[in-house]
Amino acid sequence: MQDYIQRFAAILCGSMCCVLLLLCSLYFLSFAATCAASCGYACCYFAASFAFHFSLISSTFAASLAALCHSWCSSPFFSFVAILCSLPFFSFAALDKVGHHIVEVPNLEGILKLVVKECGGLPLAIVVIIESMKGEDDVKVWNNALIELRERVKSVNGSDKEIFERLRFSYDRLNSFEIQNCFLCCSMFHEDYPFRTRELIEGWIDEGLIDGLPIRKAAYDRGHAFLSRLVKNCLLEKTVDWEGDVFKMHDLMRDMAIKSIVPELGYMVKAGMKLTKVPDENGWGEYLKKVSLMENYISKVPPGLCPGCPTLSTLILSNYRNLSEISESFFEGMLELKVLDLSQTGIEALPNSISNLEKLSSLRLRWCYKLRYLPSLAKLRALKKLGLHGSNIEVAPQGMEELISLEYLDLTYCSRLKEIPMRMLSNLSNLQYLLVYGVLKIKEEEVVRLSKLGTFEGELDDRQGFNYFVKSQDFQILTNYLIVVGGQIFSLTGRKEIEVYIKNCDFGEECIVLPDNLQNLVIEECRNMRSSLNKAALLEKATELSFYGIRYCEDMECVVDLDSSSCPVLDKLQELLLRELPKLSVLVRVEGVATPPHVFSNLKRLCIQFCSGMRKLLPLELLQAFQNLEEIDVHRCEQMEEIIASSDSDASLDKFTFPKLRILELTVLPQLKSICSAKGVMVCDSIEQIEVWGCQELKGIPLQLPLLDNGQPHLPPHLTEIIIVEEWWETVEWDHKILLQPFLKYMR
């Protein structure tokens, strides 16, 4: 307990927190909040100690302080205090509410932690739930409360209204109509829906919540600011996966929005409710402004159904593949409709009544895999966004050239689309986003005429056309691009921003001119590339290159030949992926050359797969350059013998340090005999995961464990797992195997 007090008090003193500590008993909550809002921030160790020892730090205080920190102060310190209040103090700060004896109840601690998790760490919600469970010590009763909480029913004695009122605190403190509406837009999606950054911001732009900006790039920047506010106020949760950031709305926050806010604003949200029929006319209403029926089991909109809804501006009917038919009458009374989303449905044709929605600004038909027919779009002169990604159309929509307001056109992966009529694209003078990747080759002349274009994703006709486009003045205004030259290619990066793919080109002929601001480059099935970065002298200008992937280039012998070029581009490179390069023997040819210190100096991820000619991965001369390396992945390189190349001159070297290495994966390397020299050890204090299998000749892992002050070894602080084959583990030489035993995960 004393440790908690000292830590908490030190944080409070160092950051000038509030006098709230002495004012927040259960009976002074509102007074404490008023003081915190008006009196400024000051605190001391005495106040913290006094409050803890005399039980003034109650669950209500923890909740209040956390909420105040979230809503009034945006610094990382206050976010930390909020977490501190909701989790570490849970087991004793709320004891005065549920009874001190509860800590002695077997098996209850785990349920309490799950309750905290289900509340998303939201202190106010935790406190309300705990208060309603006062006096209960039956594990089954607590477990039932947890189930009810998960099912979002009126749980714990009907206190949902109070929970929502308190959760609304962060929403009200946004003090921005636009950001509040951005939050409410998220509630129109089904429970646990995973939002991507681009999807969220595009939706807000479609709704007109980010308006008044001349270019979409500026709208994106403002959208990022809005998103940051929502995360800081705990209204959205942020996680990360291999594709990037993922945002979710916690169940409680979504329930709060749907049950206590959106009904007042004319929203009808029935997303993910397993509906089999569209609500009849009585289920709609003239007052409705936004309706979401996404993720249901509706198969058709029956003939004659005309909901009316003269003020409806947004309709979401997405995410059910069995929706195949929409009646002509359905849209007839929706003349104010601005946003229509029919994405991921099984419709084959849109009703002709769509043609009369003259105020429609966004028509989203993403992944309508059966869609073949669209009625004339000529009258939709207010349309700013047309998304046909992955649809089955064979010809460009009739009247598309009349869409004078169109800013965003997505024809990506419309595989049956044979052509876009000449001059049709160039007539769209306001177009800022053109996405035609995976469709057909575009003439560079068509793209160059789009003077407002900021983002382009597509395949150009040939290498000469690409060079012409890159050299043109119009190319300089692009902020994002994904350009393919020479044939379709699948993304390796998942980013689709400032990216070029080159396929099936001969580097013995005319060079390809790459953009100065290029970040991601993928080269595939190209000829006459013995040394990739040197052969492409064009890369000397691409100083921002961050990702470089090379696949299926049969002639490549090395990535860099320092004997012929200095390649300044390498000092920004963070990821290098090499796959199926049969003649590749070394990363860098350094014979007789002093290696520049910047070579690979920022490389974080090195992945080499199916490169059968490589015997040694990292030359000793380059080792100092790999100090920022975080991940090494070597897979199916049949001739690989050594990871760190040894030589006669390295007898004095016994430590090879990789201070930031987190992941080491060595798999299916049948000739691998050693990681480094016989007497050497690897110092990797940041290591998190080690995976070794299919390396029968490898007899040891020379990993040096950190030492305590008394000289005893201890585990790397971040280690989570060691993935191996059990039989290999029993024979391998590895110091301190007993210490590592708890982290083993055997391959099956």
pLDDT at 219: 92
Pick left, alpha or beta for residue 668 (phi over 0 → left; psi -120 to 50 → alpha; otherwise beta): left
Identify the band that residue 705 occupies on the pLDDT scale cut at 50, 70 and 90.
confident
- Window from 141-150, 180-189, 726-735, 739-748 with minimum mean pLDDT: 141-150
Q: What is the mean pLDDT of the chain?
A: 79
From residue 111, give the alpha-carbon distance in Å to each of 5, 45, 101, 555. 25, 33, 16, 60
Task: Tell me the C-alpha distance between 542 and 568, whole Å.
Answer: 9
Angle of helix 108-118 relative to helix 139-151, nearest 10 degrees?
A: 20
pLDDT at 252: 82
Asked if 531 contacts 507 with a C-beta cutoff of 8 angstroms, the reply is no
pLDDT at 547: 92
Identify the band that residue 564 occupies on the pLDDT scale cut at 50, 70 and 90.
low
3-state SS, one letter per residue, for 100-154 = HHHHHCCCHHHHHHHHHHHCCCCHHHHHHHHHHCCCCCCHHHHHHHHHHHHHCCC
Q: Which residue has the higher pLDDT, 586 or 599?
A: 586
Residue in the block written with tokens 């749907």 = 258
Pick left, alpha or beta for residue 644 (phi over 0 → left; psi -120 to 50 → alpha; otherwise beta): beta
State the pairing for strand pair 721-724/631-635.
Answer: unpaired
Task: Tell me the C-alpha distance between 373 and 393, whole Å.
Answer: 7
Identify the band that residue 82 occupies on the pLDDT scale cut at 50, 70 and 90.
very low
Task: Tell me the C-alpha distance between 500 and 542, whole Å.
Answer: 11
The mean pLDDT value for 622-642 works out to 93
Query: Is pLDDT at 730 greater than 60 in this prediction?
Result: yes
Proportion of the chain above pLDDT 70, given as a percent? 75
For 208-216, the CB contacts below 8 A with 24+ separation are 208/338, 208/361, 209/178, 209/181, 209/182, 209/185, 210/178, 215/432, 215/452, 215/454, 216/407, 216/408, 216/432, 216/433, 216/454, 216/455
CB-side neighbour CA atoms (13 Å) of 402: 12
Task: Tell me the C-alpha distance between 221 and 530, whole Å.
Answer: 42
Task: Tell me the C-alpha distance between 379 and 139, whole Å.
Answer: 64
| Extended beta strands in 563-715, E state | 575-579, 586-589, 605-609, 616-618, 631-635, 642-644, 655-657, 663-667, 681-683, 689-693, 703-704
Residue-wise pLDDT tens digits, 356-382: 999 999 999 999 999 999 999 999 999
Task: Tell me the C-alpha distance between 357 and 351, whole Å.
Answer: 11
Which of 371, 386, 83 is CA-nearest to residue 234? 83
Residue-wise pLDDT tens digits, 448-463: 889 899 999 998 878 8
Say how many Å lie between the first and final Cα of the chain, rounded.
44
Query: Is pLDDT at 481 greater than 80 in this prediction?
Result: yes
The mean pLDDT value for 564-574 works out to 67
Domain residue spans of the chain: 2-166, 174-265, 604-748
pLDDT at 173: 76
Structure tokens at 617: 């991965």
Asked if 4 contacts 52 with a C-beta cutoff of 8 angstroms, the reply is yes
The mean pLDDT value for 384-398 works out to 95
Query: Is pLDDT at 253 greater than 90 in this prediction?
Result: no
Identify the band that residue 39 occupies on the pLDDT scale cut at 50, 70 and 90.
very low
The mean pLDDT value for 24-44 works out to 34
Residues pairing with 561 in the sheet: 589
Task: Tell me the C-alpha distance between 746 and 748, whole Å.
Answer: 6
Question: ∠ at Cα 258 (252, 263), nearest 5°?
Answer: 155
Identify the band that residue 136 occupies on the pLDDT scale cut at 50, 70 and 90.
confident
pLDDT at 596: 59
Asked if 388 contacts 364 with a C-beta cutoff of 8 angstroms, the reply is no
Residue-wise pLDDT tens digits, 290-347: 999 999 999 999 988 999 899 999 999 999 888 999 999 999 989 999 999 999 999 9
Residue-wise pLDDT tens digits, 170-223: 788 788 999 999 999 999 999 999 999 999 999 999 999 998 787 888 899 999
Which of 379, 356, 378, 377 is CA-nearest to residue 365? 377
Query: Is pLDDT at 700 greater than 70 in this prediction?
Result: yes
Residue-wise pLDDT tens digits, 401-454: 999 999 999 999 998 998 888 788 889 999 999 999 877 788 888 888 898 999
Q: What is the pTM of this model?
A: 0.74
Q: Which residue has the higher pLDDT, 608 or 591?
A: 608
Cβ-based neighbour number of residue 415 at 10 Å: 12
Identify the band that residue 129 occupies on the pLDDT scale cut at 50, 70 and 90.
low
Identify the band that residue 14 occupies on the pLDDT scale cut at 50, 70 and 90.
very low
| 21 secondary structure, DSSP code | G
| Domain range 174-265, its CATH number among 3.40.50.150, 1.10.10.10, 3.40.50.20, 2.40.30.10 | 1.10.10.10
Identify the band that residue 48 occupies on the pLDDT scale cut at 50, 70 and 90.
very low
Task: Tell me the C-alpha distance between 703 and 595, whole Å.
Answer: 27
Structure tokens at 601: 């100096």
Asked if 204 contacts 362 with a C-beta cutoff of 8 angstroms, the reply is no
Query: Is pLDDT at 44 greater than 90 in this prediction?
Result: no
| 14 secondary structure, DSSP code | H
Angle of helix 59-72 relative to helix 76-86, nearest 10 degrees?
A: 160
pLDDT at 213: 81
Query: Is pLDDT at 657 greater than 80 in this prediction?
Result: yes
Provide CB contacts within 8 A for 690, sequence distance 6+.
663, 664, 665, 701, 703, 721, 722, 723, 724
Task: Tell me the C-alpha distance between 337 and 4, whole Å.
Answer: 56
Task: Tell me the C-alpha distance between 174 and 236, whole Å.
Answer: 13
Query: Is pLDDT at 145 greater than 60 in this prediction?
Result: yes
Helix ranges (H only) for 472-570 are 532-535
Q: Which residue has the higher pLDDT, 6 or 507?
A: 507
Task: Tell me the C-alpha distance between 457 and 437, whole Å.
Answer: 5
Task: Tell me the C-alpha distance between 184 and 57, whole Å.
Answer: 34
Ranked by mean pLDDT, the top range of 255-264, 363-372, 538-547 is: 363-372
pLDDT at 506: 82
Q: Which residue has the higher pLDDT, 242 or 663?
A: 663
Helix ranges (H only) for 187-324 are 197-206, 216-232, 251-260
Structure tokens at 79: 């976010």
Which of 586, 607, 731 is CA-nearest to residue 667? 607
Residue-wise pLDDT tens digits, 156-181: 345 566 667 667 767 887 889 999 99
